[in-house]
């Protein structure tokens, strides 16, 4: 779909509630033209099939966690529901793999409380039991939040997969094998600062820079990525680390776990389509989008910020680079912001807000 010329945005909205929303939104006025709901508990993350025929949801519900699939047309028939999955899946993506049997589809989930990455085969929209579960067993400085591994997200670049472990203060690096289906092999770990709590990542188009946002310490880590000559190994080297919260106090920045000091939390991180700017959501009182300008070496400099409603988590930048959609969980609304692709600065289109119960994610078709 071309977002430059499409008049209607088809938008799935994930929530921490009892339903997801399927909205039709005017791409000029951002008014709702239609809205359906689908009953799913705690569908905090969603994914579309590559052909748009199906969508897949997590149910981040502790021991009752599930993975579900639906037809992407009214009445959105549920095709499958896999129970007994690794606890609290909070991230889900699809991946198509060319095999001798033809094109095969897989789901991969990041499982927060389970501390794992799960792989599920999919056939015509029907999710099958997991073919692989990669578990991690790490812990961190915070004895409450970091007793065990918490896989919050993963990003892939070519054959490499990088998984953020909030509980273990690590990035797990894995290799993706696709010779006979999809299989993950663990390679090595990269440690972040104790108590940092890695959360979300973005990788540039060339696959040479990885940007990591930590939730607990509210920091940005920038890594150089470089394959060796054989293409069989990859090097990760930290080239920048900076505190991105509101305070400039070095004591607070270096001691994020001091009780009552740093309650700010990093949320999501996204690159602008032109690759010149980086955006990060901050929550828990900060409630804003921080804006960074990237130099020719991929190093980030804080440029500005833009206030949001309460508790922005994931956000979406449309492919034309001119609009950002920000669900704000604790304000029960979705905000729309205009982005200037030249300067990277953004401003809210205040009259364009959409009400929704506990929204945390938007997926544009």
- Once rounded to an integer, what is the mean pLDDT over residues 325-349? 97
Q: How buried is residue 296: exposed, middle or buried, by Cβ count under 10 Å (0-12/13-18/19+)? A: exposed
Which residue, among 36, 57, 37, has the nearest Cα to 46 in the 3D structure? Answer: 57
197-202 mean pLDDT = 98
Question: What is the per-residue pLDDT across 112-143, written as a single tens digit (0 to 9) for each?
Answer: 999 999 999 999 999 999 999 999 999 999 98
What is the rounded CA–CA span in Å between residue 14 and residue 57?
A: 8
Give pLDDT tens digits for 84-115: 999 999 999 999 998 877 899 999 999 999 99
Say yes or no to pLDDT of 185 above 80.
yes
State what percent of residues in the chain have pLDDT above 70.
94
**Mean of the per-residue pLDDT values for the chain?**
92
| Banded pLDDT at 6 (limits 50, 70, 90) | low
Say if CB 321 and CB 275 are below 8 A apart: no
Instruction: Check pLDDT > 70 for residue 4.
Output: no
User: Can you read off the two tokens belonging to residue 117?
Assistant: 């990455």
Alpha-carbon gap, residue 152 to 155, rounded angstroms: 11
Lowest mean pLDDT among 5-19, 46-60, 204-218, 308-322: 5-19
pLDDT score, position 101: 79
Quote the CA–CA distance of 22 and 37 in Å, as a whole number: 6
| The pLDDT value given to residue 303 | 96
Spell out the SS3 assignment of the chain: CCCCCCCEEEEEEEECCCEEEEEEEECCCCCEEEEEEEECCCCCCEEECCCCCEEEEEECCHHHCEEEEEECCCCCCEEEEEECCCCCEEEEEEEEEEECCEEEEEEEEEECCCCEEEEEEEECCEECCCCEEEECCCCCCCCCCCCCCCEEEEEEECCEEEEEECCCCEEEEEEEECCCCCEEEEEEEEECCCCCCEEEEEECCCCCEEEEEECCCCEEEEEEEEECCCCCCEEEEEEEEEECCCCCCHHHHHCCCCCCCCCCEEEEEEECCCCCEEEEEEECCCCEEEEEEECCCCCEEEEEEEECCCCECCCEECCCCCEEEEEEHHHCEEEEEEECCCCCCEEECHHHCEECCCEEEEEEC
Q: Cα(231)–Cα(160) distance, rounded to whole angstroms?
A: 10
* pLDDT higher than threshold 70 for residue 181: yes
When pLDDT is averaged across residues 287-306 and rounded to a whole number, the result is 96
Sketch out the chain's domains with CATH numbers. 95-358 (2.130.10.10)
pLDDT at res. 247? 62
Q: What pLDDT is attached to residue 180?
A: 83
Q: Of the ranges 283-287, 331-335, 355-359, which one carries the lowest mean pLDDT score?
A: 283-287
For the segment 245-251, the average pLDDT, to the nearest whole number, is 55
Is it true that the peptide bond before 75 is cis, omega within 30 degrees of 0?
A: yes
Can you give the pLDDT at residue 249? Answer: 44
């Amino acid at each position: 779909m071309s977002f430059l010329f499409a008049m209607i945005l088809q938008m799935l909205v994930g929530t921490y509630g009892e339903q997801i929303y399927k909205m039709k939104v005017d791409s000029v006025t951002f008014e709702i033209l239609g809205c359906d709901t689908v009953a799913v508990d705690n569908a905090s993350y969603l994914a579309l099939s590559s052909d748009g025929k199906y969508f897949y949801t997590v149910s981040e519900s502790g021991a009752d966690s599930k993975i579900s699939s639906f037809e992407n047309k009214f009445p959105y028939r549920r095709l499958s529901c896999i129970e007994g999955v690794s606890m609290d899946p909070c991230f889900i993506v699809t991946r198509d793999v060319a095999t001798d049997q033809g094109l095969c589809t897989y789901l991969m989930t990041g499982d927060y409380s389970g501390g794992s990455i799960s792989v599920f085969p999919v056939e015509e929209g029907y999710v099958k039991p997991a073919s692989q579960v990669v578990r991690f067993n790490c812990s961190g400085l915070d004895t409450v939040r970091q007793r065990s591994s918490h896989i919050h997200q993963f990003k892939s670049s070519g054959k490499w997969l990088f998984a953020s472990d909030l509980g273990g203060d690590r990035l797990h690096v894995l290799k993706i094998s696709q010779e006979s289906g999809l299989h993950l092999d663990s390679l090595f770990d990269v440690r972040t600062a104790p108590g940092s709590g890695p959360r979300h990542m973005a990788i540039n188009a060339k696959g040479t820079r990885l940007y990591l946002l930590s939730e607990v310490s509210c920091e940005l880590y920038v890594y150089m990525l470089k394959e060796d000559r054989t293409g069989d190994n990859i090097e990760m080297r930290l080239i920048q680390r900076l505190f991105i919260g509101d305070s400039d106090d070095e004591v607070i920045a270096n001691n994020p776990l001091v009780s009552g000091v740093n309650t700010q939390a990093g949320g999501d991180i996204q690159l602008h389509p032109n690759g010149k700017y980086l955006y990060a959501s901050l929550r828990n009182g900060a409630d804003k989008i921080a804006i960074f300008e990237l130099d020719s070496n991929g190093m980030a400099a804080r440029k500005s910020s833009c206030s949001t409603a309460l508790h922005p988590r994931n956000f979406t930048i449309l492919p034309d680079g001119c609009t950002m959609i920000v669900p704000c969980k604790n304000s029960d609304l979705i905000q729309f912001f205009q982005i200037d692709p030249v300067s990277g600065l953004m401003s809210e289109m205040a009259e364009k807000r959409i009400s929704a119960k506990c929204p945390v994610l938007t997926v544009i078709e």
